[in-house]
Structure 1
Amino acid sequence: MDIYETDPEFAERFAYFLQNEVLQEPGQQLDSKTRYMIILAALMGCQAEGAYREVLAEALDSGLSPIAVKETVYQATDYLGYGKMLPFLHRTNELLSERGVPLPLKGQATTTLDDRLEKGVQIQAVIFGEQMKEAWKAGPINRWLAANCFGDYYTRTGLSLAQRELITFCFLMAQGGCEPQLTAHAKGNMNIGNDKDFLMRVISQCLPYIGYPRSLNAIACINRAEKEMQEVK
């Protein structure tokens, strides 16, 4: 049922907040494709299937490509887990099929099972620094992180490296309870060009979908990351 019919007062206020305040706030705006990409990532992070399907339709209408959407969903596996990612993959495939998009989409992999670790380590070093070239040796989970998370996903085409690090920030921000990782990825984002001002705008645009507590926690993590980066310098 349409919430404008069943819950008109709520629908009116939420729409006003979203359309007249969040979207129009000076200095807090993003281009349409980036905005939809981060919101989809945030909705996966907070497990909001209903809202995800609503926003996905708007995102595709706005010009966000099916490949960009699918790459966002795939990468969620490493930060949310397969169990939490899978329903969103199904919702995405359903809507793409309804719109006549042929599946599977064109492959985006650039690594093999033989070189995924090497290339994943290289990506980690670009984002987090040269010390990551040895981090994978600390144990199996660190090795999997390099080979699977970064080697299997971050090396794929369809999204830029900056976009991949950005959606990771949104996965972590929206699911909550990952503040150490969120702080680390705030640093990673700033290291590759997604500066503090940009990340603050990302939080603002996601806030209506994830709520104030996790948004405020994300701001605190960005400030902590900035402070730690300045202390190193």
Structure 2
Amino acid sequence: MAPNLRARKNHDALFPGHVSTLATTDPELIETFDNFAFDEVLAHGDLDARTRLMVQLAAIVACQALREYRVLLGAALAVGVTPVEIKEIVYQAVPYVGIAKVFDFIHATNEVLAELGIELPLPPQSTTTPETRAEKGLAVQKQIIGSALVEKLYASAPPDEQHIQRYLSANCFGDTYTRTGLDVAMRELLTFSLLVALGGCDPQVKGHVGANLHVGNDRKKLIDVLTQLLPFIGYPRTLNGFRAVDEVAPA
């Protein structure tokens, strides 16, 4: 009992020489999962391997699956995702998942990079200063979700919640989205993946479907992303993601 030839070939390309202990203890599960994830699902859509692994890594951070993250991190590096890009994926998770849940993934990333002989810290990617982060953050926020919506968010927030809108502009967008290492379109795909995998964020998922459309990620790309996340995050959260796409960008 073993995964089919295509599944084995695709699995081995991502994880050369890796033999899961579950193949011995749980062969039926490995057969069905690998056939699904590495053949049936992998055959759907047009995501390149780099993009696929980047969005999967983001989702796995949100799912708190540290062991699986380490495995997929090696695969991502093998297909050409750079150390800077890996770090930026993890940093992108901080404003959405929270630093408490991201700390272990930062440490795991550092450990893997150090084992590969990659010197830390990596080159800096920040483009803002304490004086410019709010202005630049607001500008990129308007670029991503639209000036009218940003102005509406500020106008509709009660006086005692205005500080949260300022935090969103300066911290979430100014400290994070303005960084180099990843472009805005990729950061939005990562945010979409993080929110879908996190669960309980349906309004934010819908908002970032719209944001993805603003930066050039169309319905097809979002569906391809959700499809590749499915084996790792399960059906309920994936289907919630599809519902958000259907509501904001119907077929």
TM range (shorter): over 0.9
Q: In the alignment, which of 97, 100, 111 is matched to residue 80 of structure 1?
A: 97
**Does structure 2 conserve the Cα–Cα contact (< 8 Å) formed by 1:121 and 1:136?**
no
Runs (4+) off by over 2 Å: 133-138
Q: CA deviation at 1:75?
A: 1.3
Quote the residue 1:96 is aligned against. Answer: 113
Q: 2:210 aligned with 1:187, yes or no?
A: yes
Q: 2:166 aligned with 1:149, yes or no?
A: no
In the alignment, the residues of structure 2 paired with residue 114 and residue 135 of structure 1 have an alpha-carbon distance, to the nearest angstrom, of 23
The gaps in structure 1 that reach 5 residues or longer are none
- Give the match's secondary structure for 1:94: helix
Q: 2:196 aligned with 1:173, yes or no?
A: yes
Q: CA deviation at 1:134?
A: 6.8
Residues 173-202 of structure 1, C-alpha deviation per residue, up to 9 Å, x if partnerless?
001000000000000001110000110000
Answer with 1 or 2: which has the greater Rg: 2
Q: 2:241 aligned with 1:218, yes or no?
A: yes
Q: 2:130 aligned with 1:113, yes or no?
A: yes
Q: 2:31 aligned with 1:8, yes or no?
A: no
Residues 14-65 of structure 1, C-alpha deviation per residue, up to 9 Å, x if partnerless?
111112101113xx23101100100000101111111111111111111100
Q: Cα RMSD over matched residues?
A: 1.5
Matched AA of 2:230: L
Quote the residue 1:126 is aligned against. Answer: 143
| TM-score, structure 1 as length reference | 0.93
How is 1:38-49 mapped onto 2 (pairs within 5 angstroms)? Answer: 38-49=55-66
Q: CA deviation at 1:226?
A: 2.1
In the alignment, the residues of structure 2 paired with residue 223 and residue 38 of structure 1 have an alpha-carbon distance, to the nearest angstrom, of 20
How has the CA–CA distance of structure 1 residues 192 and 60 changed in structure 2, closer, same or farther, with 3 Å as cutoff?
Answer: same
- Identity over the aligned pairs, expressed in percent? 46
**Does structure 2 conserve the Cα–Cα contact (< 8 Å) formed by 1:122 and 1:133?**
no
Quote the residue 1:204 is aligned against. Answer: 227
The gaps in structure 2 that reach 5 residues or longer are 1-19
- Give the match's secondary structure for 1:177: coil
Quote the residue 2:4 is aligned against. Answer: none
| TM-score, structure 2 as length reference | 0.87
How is 1:18-33 mapped onto 2 (pairs within 5 angstroms)? Answer: 18-25=37-44, 28-33=45-50
Count residues in correspondence. Answer: 226
